[in-house]
Amino acid sequence: MPPSPPSSVPFEPGYEDTIIARKAVGYVRAAPGRLAIWPIVLVIYATLLPREVAIHVGENFIYVDRLALFLTTPWILLNLWRGAIRFVLPDWLILLLGIWMVVSLGEVYGPERAAVSGLSFAFDAVAGYYLARIEFRSLDDIRRALIACAPGFFLAGLSLMIESLSHHFIIRPFFASIFGGLHYASGTDNIDTEMHIVTRFGLVRAYGPWTHPIMAGLHLATLLAIYWKSGIRGVPFWMAMFAAACSVFTMSSAALLALVITIGALCYDWLCGRVKELNWPLLLLALVTSLVVLSFFTNAGLVSVFVRFATLDPATGYFRISIWQYGTLSVLNHPWFGIGFDPYSRPDWMITSSIDTHWLLYAVRYGLPAASALMLACLSAIGGLVRAEKMANKADSGFYRGILMSLLMLVLMGFSVSYSGGTLTWFTILLGGCVACAQHTYVIDWAFWIRRKPRVAMPIE
């Protein structure tokens, strides 16, 4: 007897053939079922705690989200050993990313450094992804996790609002008084550990539990599309909406742009359901055409155009464009293994060596193979969500589009922001969840198409 279909697969004629096709290709070897969501809920809550909460081990610090992932690692490995998932393209790409991060740092610094820093950063990039891949068997599993995490998001957003309106930082100073100040492993991240009071439009750029207002804003901005299209209602829904709205208290251009993009996408999705001439491919074509024309008339690349309009401060935009220029030269000079945590070559007036773009940071630090693997995994996940949305019923197809909006927004904002801390872990969890809820599209489509393709008789001459 075939297993009951997940909520992401519609009950339509021919569904039994799809289940047979899935069994034929050996997609899921373990019996599908509902898993306890406490491991991933624990990790998500850990991403909302300050980085001051850390355990000092040698020259490294085990942050609370990394500790939560470490505690769930035996559970992850056990489920992988039991065949909880069948590896598809994004899974192999993320595994390649983790391996290459260790190999590249070993090539630059030697095996001892790779065994410490390399494994730590690879663990951060991989563990959350596979946890989400195992935990989320259907869209209902994601809904359960979102409901459980809504109070945490609400409190995190509330802390941003209080700090911004009161002009006093509360969360991180409180935890610093207990656990000590913010620390980073020597020679890894060149990040300013001080908190600066910056006022914009009469509001202070709030930090909350995050290391930077940009991370806070983007972290909460991703909640808007996911919860809006999830079908969740009641108190958890309004908690999440409040948290997403509180991202404006970071006064971050990236967060504000992310909210504008998400609201625009939700409005366009609403119009598509009422105007039959409108569809998403049409919007994508219009956006690509506009960007190409804009890039041509401004004599700049698409990335430069995006970065320039993604910042409120022109000086910040110019500095980020310079980062792209000199960071790209570093990648061309060290394409395979990167330069590790060493500062890249740049003019003297560029005082800091920080790279405010996630994709370029990975390319500079670990080489093009690492950045390409992560980008291809994201693109593959997006493609899987698009296919899954077409196969789903009306209620679930909207949820697929909401998840797609949030992931696509993080991919786009990654060209002007580098993710770190709990926001990086949240990004990996979201990516893994996208692949998990669209997992059936990676193998069923071909098997089902071959099985259902009508036979055409050849004429006898």
Alpha-carbon distance 195 to 171, whole Å? Answer: 12
The DSSP-derived string for 6-32 is PTTS---TTHHHHHHHHHHTT---SPP
Nearest to 223 by CA among 418, 47, 360: 47
Alpha-carbon distance 250 to 247, whole Å? Answer: 6
Nearest to 342 by CA among 358, 371, 364, 321: 364
Angle at 47 between CA 441 and CA 417, to 5 degrees: 75
The per-residue pLDDT for 454 is 44
What SS3 state is found at 290? Answer: helix
The per-residue pLDDT for 304 is 60
Q: Are 419 and 365 in contact (CB under 8 A)?
A: no
List b or e across 421-447, with b for residues whose CB sees 16 or more CB atoms inside 10 angstroms: bbbbbbbbbbbbbbbbbbbbbbbbbeb
Q: Can you give the pLDDT of all 461 residues of the chain as single tens digits?
A: 333 334 443 323 333 333 333 333 323 333 345 667 888 999 999 999 988 887 776 666 788 888 899 898 888 888 888 877 888 889 999 999 999 999 998 888 888 777 777 788 888 889 999 999 988 888 888 999 999 999 999 999 999 999 999 888 888 888 888 877 766 654 444 445 567 777 877 888 888 899 888 899 999 999 999 999 988 999 999 999 999 999 999 888 888 888 988 998 899 888 887 877 777 777 777 777 776 676 666 555 556 655 555 555 555 666 777 788 888 898 999 899 988 888 888 877 777 777 888 999 999 999 999 999 999 999 999 988 888 888 778 778 889 999 999 999 899 888 888 898 889 999 999 999 999 888 777 764 444 444 444 444 434 33
Nearest to 443 by CA among 9, 3, 142: 9
Q: Please state the φ and ψ torsions of residue 307, each to the nearest 5 degrees.
A: -65, -40
The per-residue pLDDT for 23 is 35
The per-residue pLDDT for 438 is 82
Residues in the chain, overall count: 461
